[in-house]
């Protein structure tokens, strides 16, 4: 198992003055894995990445790549290459020269470097672009050049620092798929950092959710989404309804919570002694025109539609119900009988105990 | 305000005539076949450029050793000034934009001083200081150090004192626009520090380096106020021109001026071309 | 900081320290000291205020000084008035290629040496010059007219030399004025004059200050233009400094004059910055 581990981070701490930017992080990434570090800005993910690349030294802890400690190894000697947030393509060089740059630094002959760069450009779908200026490329093409520039060096690890941030929405959606395909094609280990949970969910094999310098949870996208281990993960990954209230009763992992405005809800998880937080996904909320259509869900309520948020397949409703201080958000299937519902209409909604995650507040 | 009045347009036209009139007459009278650069027009001649002196008693500027040596003197000053200004200016720009050290704000402020000191005063202060230095060293070493006495070497130092500020500002402005992640990317791709400097940083700076060099060359070539105070036995071009103009000009000065204008025009358009790459 | 980094930083600072120390600070300390030394016997000097007293007791000196200051202010004002309509036209009326060309044409003459420009004015203005010749040939004058060697010629030459340094900062400042602000001014019922006075000029103030300071500094420190265009009547203070240093070889006196000129120029720059609340850095950048 350990022989196929490409990157191992062991209890890494980075201190700036008295502030711990990265506070005791440990994880490992397997060969060929697409690993994402997801967190809000300022959570320490950029610092962590710069330590892996070699631009910062950890205050303590170890960074190992294929079993070899990287402490004291400068960035230009590490088998790690980085795709920068700004892409950092060299504007004074052509596309081909950009891709060949790392090879010539290694002492590969000009002719050989050019040949390999041309072949790499072909593989990323930029055949014949070698002589273009980098300024003459589109956003997506620049992205591919930046990745080709790293991959041509056959690094153990490619680091990607929110490279899709600068693209517009349509292109970003497209590049998510393309990046994933490139990674699969080259079978290179990718470590990707982002604050965009959808990028992380779509592309990654595993995701680490980072907050205030430490990892909240590491797991597959499905695990994080369905079984968040902390309130932070539950609210940061994916859309969710979040309520807090008093713990009314708890037996085993079944918890009943009374919301401040009166409603009582039932969920599963670790309740707090007095206060608890509960989360339920909008798609877990069933809708119906009457009580009966909700079946035997443990949580059943009646309310009125306060807003219809139409967004095609992602459409949802906001529902005001007595006993809830905040409206509940529920996915509105556009193929169902409720598709045409309007504001003010009475509605029944409910969810199963299993769908509601409870954490101590 | 979008529709300019006729009066305004007329004023603009008059202004540009005013702006170019002196240059035009200088150029025109360089070709006048007369011993004086004055009307009336006595016919076209190239005598003031390439004449042997048989017609007006004075040779044309390209044949006259006085003018040729004075141009050479100017180059002997301008080239070292330009090279030093670019090299030291680059180091200074790096200090301003990249380095952190105590007293940096003071340094940044002091750097601007030479621009607010009149050139004559820069000249006399450097003259006085280096004379004292030379006198002190003479007493101590029992030899006179020529370089510290008025002469080309001192002119180079005097001109550098303020041209360095300008070179530094030009280069620092370009360095400020540099995206540091380019350097990190090159380093990340395996380049050594010197290779990063050679392949990424300097190519990015090069338009500013060329620009600063050309500006320094030009300012040195044309400087009068500071140079006047530091000149020794081998005068650069502006000093010689000034001397001849006081004595009563011959069209030879027009001829040399025209040559300077053409050279400067060439340099300036070169500068305009290189700085176009900036934007 | 690691010792190696410290050494690198020191090496990189060395040229700047040498430059500012040897070429700016120490030379100015030197003339300050020199200005307070009096010659009591050949090659023997002692501390004293004699050089400054000499300045106030000899009318030629302080009159030349006052004349230089007043004429410089006059030149600055004339340059501002002449340059403003041009800058306004370049910044707000001219478009595209015309604009670029007008600005370039302003810059061109100033790439040419000050001496060449002055030579041009001499050829135009002197008794046997072009203007005199034209006036005679169209019958406006019956004999050669001497237009050189008077205050008018000096002012003309100095204004000419300062124009560019006024136009560029003015045009930059005017450029940044939002067209909609001007339109709003008209829309609210302002006349051309009111809009100019209440909106355009206040907006251009940083440019006006920057341009004026630079033109004043260049004018006060000018040497060739007043000497060549004014002749014996030029009487510029820099000429006095030159005479003391080079002709009379009385360096302490020349140093005292230098300090006075430096003070004059610094005070005006400082006052200009104070009045307009600008900093030196931003002002120079404007230019």
Sketch out chain B's domains with CATH numbers. Answer: 77-232 (1.10.3720.10)
Identify the pLDDT of residue B4.
66
Domain at A241-361: CATH architecture: Beta Barrel (2.40)
- Read off the pLDDT of residues A132-147 as tens digits, 9 standing for 90 and up: 999 889 888 998 999 9
Contact state of B25 with C15 under an 8 Å Cβ cutoff = no
Identify the pLDDT of residue C65.
93
Q: A2-232 adopts what CATH topology?
A: Rossmann fold (3.40.50)
The residue in chain A having the minimum alpha-carbon distance to the alpha carbon of residue B189 is A102
Chain B partners of A75 at a C-beta cutoff of 8 Å?
184, 187-188
Pairing relationship of beta strands A264-269 and A356-360 according to DSSP bridges: parallel
Distance CA B71, CA B211 (A): 22
Distance CA B251, CA C123 (A): 10
Q: Which residue has the tokens 């020529």?
A: B146
Identify the pLDDT of residue B1.
46
Neighbouring C-alpha atoms within 13 Å toward the C-beta of B61:
23
Distance CA A216, CA A231 (A): 9
- Read off the pLDDT of residues A24-63 as tens digits, 9 standing for 90 and up: 999 999 999 999 999 998 899 999 999 999 999 999 999 9
Identify the pLDDT of residue C286.
46
Question: pLDDT band at C280, cuts 50/70/90?
Answer: low
CB A273 within 8 A of CB A263: no
Chain C partners of B11 at a C-beta cutoff of 8 Å?
85
CB A194 within 8 A of CB A167: no
B202 touches A at CB < 8 Å: no
- Read off the pLDDT of residues C59-106 as tens digits, 9 standing for 90 and up: 889 999 999 999 999 999 999 999 999 998 888 888 878 888 888 888
Distance CA A348, CA A331 (A): 13
Chain B stretch 121-180, residues whose beta carbon is closer than 8 A to a beta carbon of chain C = 121-122, 124-130, 132, 157-158, 160-161, 164
Q: How many other C-beta atoms are found inside a 10 Å radius of the C-beta of residue C98?
A: 12
Using the Cα atoms of residue C141, residue C145, residue C147 and residue C151 in order, give the sign of their dihedral. Answer: negative
Burial C234-254 (b: 16+ CB within 10 A, else e): bbbbbbbbbebbbeeebbbbb
pLDDT by position in tens, chain A (length 361)? 445 789 999 999 999 988 989 999 999 999 999 999 999 988 999 999 999 999 999 999 999 999 899 998 999 899 999 999 888 999 989 999 999 999 999 889 999 999 999 999 998 889 989 899 998 898 889 989 999 999 999 999 999 998 887 788 888 888 898 889 989 888 999 999 999 988 899 999 999 999 999 999 999 999 999 999 999 999 999 889 999 999 888 888 889 999 988 888 999 988 888 899 999 999 999 998 888 888 788 888 999 999 999 888 888 999 999 888 889 999 988 887 888 888 989 999 999 998 999 998 7
| Percent residues over pLDDT 70 in chain C | 95
DSSP helix/strand/coil, C123: helix
Contact state of A105 with B187 under an 8 Å Cβ cutoff = no
The residue ranges of chain B whose pLDDT is under 50 are 1, 277-279
**Which of C92, C105, C112 is nearest residue B1 as measured by Cβ atoms?**
C92
Is C18 inside a domain boundary?
no
Is C245 inside a domain boundary?
yes
On whether the pTM is more than 0.90, the answer is: no
Using the Cα atoms of residue C211, residue C217, residue C220 and residue C225 in order, give the sign of their dihedral. Answer: negative
- Which of A305-319, C140-154, C215-229 is the least confident region? C140-154
Q: Average pLDDT of C140-147?
A: 81
Does residue C30 or residue B6 have the better pLDDT? C30
Is C7 inside a domain boundary?
no
- Chain B interface, mutation test: which of C112, C236, C253, most B Cβ atoms within 10 Å? C112
Measure in Å the smallest separation between the Cα of B204 and chain A Cα atoms.
Answer: 7
- Chain B interface, mutation test: which of C9, C12, C123, C285, most B Cβ atoms within 10 Å? C123
- Dig out the tokens for B16 from the structure: 């540009």
**Which of B181, B182, B188 is nearest residue A75 as measured by Cβ atoms?**
B188
CB A181 within 8 A of CB A163: no
Using the Cα atoms of residue C107, residue C108, residue C111 and residue C115 in order, give the sign of their dihedral. Answer: negative
Pairing relationship of beta strands A328-331 and A286-288 according to DSSP bridges: unpaired
pLDDT value at C41 more than 80: no
Measure in Å the smallest separation between the Cα of B33 and chain A Cα atoms.
Answer: 53
CA distances to A76, A86, A191, B157, B181 from A83, rounded to whole Å, are: 14, 8, 10, 47, 10
Using the Cα atoms of residue B26, residue B31, residue B32 and residue B37 in order, give the sign of their dihedral. Answer: positive
Does residue C112 or residue A147 have the better pLDDT? A147
**Which of B22, B121, B218 is nearest residue C111 as measured by Cβ atoms?**
B218
The residue in chain B having the minimum alpha-carbon distance to the alpha carbon of residue C285 is B169
The residue in chain A having the minimum alpha-carbon distance to the alpha carbon of residue B183 is A88
**Within its chain, how far is the Cα of B63 from the centroid?**
25
Measure in Å the smallest separation between the Cα of B150 and chain C Cα atoms.
Answer: 11
Measure in Å the smallest separation between the Cα of B51 and chain C Cα atoms.
Answer: 22
**Within its chain, how far is the Cα of B146 from the centroid?**
24
Q: How many other C-beta atoms are found inside a 10 Å radius of the C-beta of residue A88?
A: 24
Which chains neighbour A (Cβ–Cβ under 8 Å, 3 or more pairs)?
A: B
Distance CA A209, CA A193 (A): 10
Write down the domain spans for chain A.
Answer: 2-232, 241-361
CB A339 within 8 A of CB A332: yes
Maximum distance among all Cα pairs of chain B, rounded to whole angstroms: 74
Question: pLDDT band at C281, cuts 50/70/90?
Answer: low
Q: Average pLDDT of C221-244?
A: 88
Identify the pLDDT of residue A2.
44
Contact state of B181 with A84 under an 8 Å Cβ cutoff = yes
Average pLDDT taken over every residue of chain A: 90
Q: Average pLDDT of C44-57?
A: 84
Which domain does C258 fall in, by range?
47-286
Task: Determine the angle formed by the axes of helices C151-175 and C201-220, rounding to 10 degrees.
Answer: 140
Identify the pLDDT of residue C196.
78
- Dig out the tokens for B58 from the structure: 């004075």
Chain C partners of B40 at a C-beta cutoff of 8 Å?
133
| Percent residues over pLDDT 90 in chain A | 55
CB A100 within 8 A of CB A116: yes
Identify the pLDDT of residue A1.
41
What CATH number is given to the structural domain containing C137? 1.10.3720.10
| E strands, chain A, in order | 5-16, 19-30, 34-38, 60-65, 68-69, 80-83, 157-161, 189-194, 206-211, 214-219, 241-251, 254-258, 264-269, 275-280, 286-288, 299-309, 316-320, 328-331, 346-351, 356-360
Average pLDDT taken over every residue of chain C: 85
> Which residues make Cβ contacts (< 8 Å) with residue A204, sequence separation at least 6?
A34, A35, A36, A192, A220, A221
Question: What's the domain count of chain C?
Answer: 1
Specify whether the backbone of B103 is left (phi greater than 0), alpha (psi in -120 to 50) or beta. left
Task: Determine the angle formed by the axes of helices C114-125 and B6-28, rounding to 10 degrees.
Answer: 100
DSSP helix/strand/coil, C39: strand
Which chains neighbour B (Cβ–Cβ under 8 Å, 3 or more pairs)?
A: A, C
Neighbouring C-alpha atoms within 13 Å toward the C-beta of B179:
13
Identify the pLDDT of residue C278.
64
Among candidate residues C167, C284, C271, C159, the one with its CA nearest the CA of residue C222: C159
- Which residue stretches of chain C are H helix? 3-18, 26-35, 50-57, 59-88, 96-111, 114-125, 130-137, 151-175, 179-187, 192-195, 201-220, 224-230, 237-242, 251-276, 280-286
Q: Angle CA(B98)–CA(A77)–CA(A24) in degrees, nearest 5?
A: 80
B238 touches C at CB < 8 Å: yes
- Read off the pLDDT of residues C243-275 as tens digits, 9 standing for 90 and up: 888 888 888 899 999 999 999 988 888 888 777
- Dig out the tokens for A165 from the structure: 């941030």
Identify the pLDDT of residue B274.
65
Identify the pLDDT of residue A45.
92
């Amino acid at each position: 198992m350990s022989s196929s581990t490409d990157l191992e981070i062991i209890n890494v701490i980075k201190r700036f003055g008295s502030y711990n930017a990265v506070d005791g992080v440990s994880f490992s990434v397997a060969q060929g894995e697409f690993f994402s570090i997801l967190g809000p800005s300022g959570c320490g993910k950029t610092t962590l990445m710069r330590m892996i690349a070699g631009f910062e030294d950890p205050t303590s802890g170890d960074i190992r790549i294929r079993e070899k400690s990287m402490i004291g190894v400068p960035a230009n000697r590490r088998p790690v290459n980085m795709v920068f947030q700004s892409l950092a393509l060299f504007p004074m060089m052509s596309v081909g020269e950009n891709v060949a740059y790392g090879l010539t630094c290694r002492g590969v002959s000009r002719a050989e470097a050019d040949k390999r760069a041309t072949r790499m450009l072909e593989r990323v779908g930029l055949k014949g672009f070698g002589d273009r200026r980098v300024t003459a490329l589109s956003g997506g093409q620049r992205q591919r050049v930046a990745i080709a520039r790293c991959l041509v060096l056959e690094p153990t690890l490619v680091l990607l620092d929110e490279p899709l941030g600068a693209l517009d929405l349509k292109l970003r959606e497209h590049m998510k798929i393309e990046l994933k395909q490139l990674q699969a094609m080259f079978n290179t280990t990718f470590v990707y950092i982002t604050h965009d949970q959808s990028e992380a969910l779509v592309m990654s094999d595993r995701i680490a959710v980072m907050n205030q310098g430490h990892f909240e949870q590491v797991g597959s996208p499905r695990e994080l989404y369905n079984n968040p281990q902390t309130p932070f993960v539950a609210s940061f990954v994916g859309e969710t309804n979040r309520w807090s209230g008093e713990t009314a009763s708890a037996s085993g992992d079944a918890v009943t919570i009374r919301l401040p405005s009166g409603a009582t809800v039932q969920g599963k998880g670790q309740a707090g002694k007095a206060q608890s937080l509960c989360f339920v996904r909008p798609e877990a909320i069933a809708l119906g025109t009457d009580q009966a259509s909700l079946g035997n869900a443990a949580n059943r309520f009646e309310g009125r539609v306060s807003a219809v948020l139409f967004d095609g397949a992602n459409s949802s409703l906001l529902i005001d119900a007595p006993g809830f201080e905040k409206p509940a958000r529920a996915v509105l299937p556009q193929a169902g009988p409720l598709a045409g519902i309007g504001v003010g209409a009475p509605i029944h909604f409910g969810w199963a105990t299993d769908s509601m995650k409870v954490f101590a507040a | 305000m979008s529709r300019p009045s006729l009066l305004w347009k007329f004023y603009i036209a008059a202004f540009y005539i005013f702006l170019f009139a002196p240059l035009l007459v200088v150029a025109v009278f360089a070709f006048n076949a007369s011993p004086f650069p004055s009307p009336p027009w006595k016919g076209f001649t190239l005598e003031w450029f390439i004449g042997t002196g048989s017609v007006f008693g004075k040779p044309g500027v390209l044949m006259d050793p006085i003018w040729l040596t004075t141009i050479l003197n100017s180059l002997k000053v301008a080239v070292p000034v330009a090279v030093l200004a670019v090299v030291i200016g680059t180091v200074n720009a790096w200090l301003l934009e990249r380095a952190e050290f105590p007293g940096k704000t003071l340094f940044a402020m002091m750097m601007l001083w030479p621009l607010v000191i009149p050139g004559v005063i820069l000249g006399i202060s450097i003259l006085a200081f280096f004379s004292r230095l030379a006198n002190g060293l003479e007493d101590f070493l029992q030899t006179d150090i020529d370089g510290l006495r008025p002469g080309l070497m001192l002119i180079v130092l005097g001109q550098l004192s303020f041209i360095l500020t300008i070179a530094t500002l030009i280069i620092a402005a370009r360095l400020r626009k540099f995206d540091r992640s380019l350097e990190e990317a090159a380093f990340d791709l395996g380049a050594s520090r010197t290779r990063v400097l050679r392949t990424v940083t300097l190519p990015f700076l090069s338009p500013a380096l060329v620009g600063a060099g050309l500006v320094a060359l030009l300012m040195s070539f044309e400087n009068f106020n500071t140079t006047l105070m530091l000149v020794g036995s081998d005068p650069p071009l502006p000093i010689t021109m000034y001397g001849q103009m006081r004595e009563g000009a011959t069209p030879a000065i027009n001829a040399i001026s025209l040559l300077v204008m053409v050279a400067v025009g060439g340099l300036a358009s070169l500068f305009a071309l290189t700085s176009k790459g900036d934007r | 900081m690691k010792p190696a980094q410290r050494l690198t930083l020191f090496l990189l600072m060395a040229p700047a320290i040498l430059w500012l120390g040897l070429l700016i600070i120490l030379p100015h300390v030197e003339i300050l000291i020199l200005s307070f030394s009096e010659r009591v016997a050949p090659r023997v000097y002692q501390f004293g205020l004699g050089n400054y007293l000499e300045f106030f007791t000899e009318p030629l000196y302080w009159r030349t000084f006052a004349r230089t200051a007043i004429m410089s202010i006059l030149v600055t004002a004339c340059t501002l008035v002449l340059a403003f309509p041009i800058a306004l036209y370049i910044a707000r009326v001219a478009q595209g290629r015309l604009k670029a060309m007008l600005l370039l044409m302003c810059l061109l003459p100033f790439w040419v040496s000050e001496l060449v420009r002055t030579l041009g004015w001499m050829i135009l203005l002197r008794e046997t010059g072009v203007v005199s010749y034209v006036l005679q040939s169209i019958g406006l004058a019956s004999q050669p007219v001497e237009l050189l060697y008077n205050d008018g010629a000096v002012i003309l030459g100095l204004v000419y030399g300062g124009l560019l340094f006024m136009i560029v900062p003015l045009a930059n400042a005017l450029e940044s004025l939002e067209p909609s602000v001007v339109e709003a001014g008209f829309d609210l019922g302002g006349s051309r004059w009111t809009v100019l006075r209440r909106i355009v000029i206040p907006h251009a103030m940083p440019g006006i200050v920057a341009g004026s300071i630079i033109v004043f500094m260049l004018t006060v420190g000018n040497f060739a233009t007043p000497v060549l265009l004014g002749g014996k009547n030029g009487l510029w203070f820099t000429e006095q400094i030159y005479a003391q240093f080079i002709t009379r070889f009385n360096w302490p006196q020349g140093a005292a004059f230098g300090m006075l000129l430096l003070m004059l120029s610094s005070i005006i720059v400082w006052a200009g910055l104070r009045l307009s609340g600008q900093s030196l850095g931003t002002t120079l950048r404007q230019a």
